[in-house]
């Protein structure tokens, strides 16, 4: 199925989806050297974002988070793409400077996507090729 949203950052990225039920802070929440989520108590603590389509409602935290996304890309451990319910400036800037395809405002909330489904995000058109079933 094709899910339509709003294109934010250009390019296309394919990978297994990693859905976060909580917002993500890239500053001190994600290790820029390893790509692992290190925020204590976060539901995805210990998971890697590297090569995954990272789906989360929105970001949180400092503007330095934009540069952490850039560092993830430079270190080869960035997400393949990002999907947000509602993009905010910190994540948008980070995706753009890091060249990570990004979309938001899909027809369904990100929490309805299934982790592990391999999807393709098209940042220019705002479309997501999603071959799985949606969660209830």
Catalytic residue among 12, 48, 62, 115: 62
Task: Give the pLDDT of residue 63.
Answer: 85
Residue-wise pLDDT tens digits, 32-78: 999 999 999 999 999 999 999 999 999 988 889 999 999 999 999 99
Question: Taking the model in full, what pTM does it have?
Answer: 0.96
Q: What are the CA-CA distances from residue 96 to residues 12, 15, 41, 92, 136 (Å)?
A: 13, 19, 28, 6, 32
State which CATH number among 3.30.2130.10, 3.90.550.10, 3.30.750.210, 3.50.30.10 fits the domain covering 2-129.
3.50.30.10
Contacts of 74 (CB under 8 A, 6+ apart): none
12 a catalytic residue: no
How does pLDDT run across 92-123, given as a tens digit for each residue? Answer: 999 999 999 999 999 999 999 999 999 999 99
């Amino acid at each position: 199925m094709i899910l339509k949203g709003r294109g934010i950052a250009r390019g296309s990225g394919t990978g297994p989806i990693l859905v976060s039920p909580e917002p993500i802070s890239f500053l001190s929440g994600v290790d820029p050297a390893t790509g692992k989520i290190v925020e204590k108590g976060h539901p995805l603590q210990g998971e890697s974002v590297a090569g995954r389509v990272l789906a989360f409602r929105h970001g949180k935290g400092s503007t330095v988070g934009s540069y952490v996304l850039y560092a993830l890309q430079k270190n080869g451990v960035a997400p393949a793409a990002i999907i947000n319910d509602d993009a905010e400036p910190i994540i948008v800037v980070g995706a753009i400077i890091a060249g990570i395809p990004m979309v938001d405002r899909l027809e369904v909330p990100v929490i309805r996507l299934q982790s592990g489904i391999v999807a393709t995000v098209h940042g220019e058109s705002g479309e997501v090729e999603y071959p799985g079933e949606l969660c209830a």
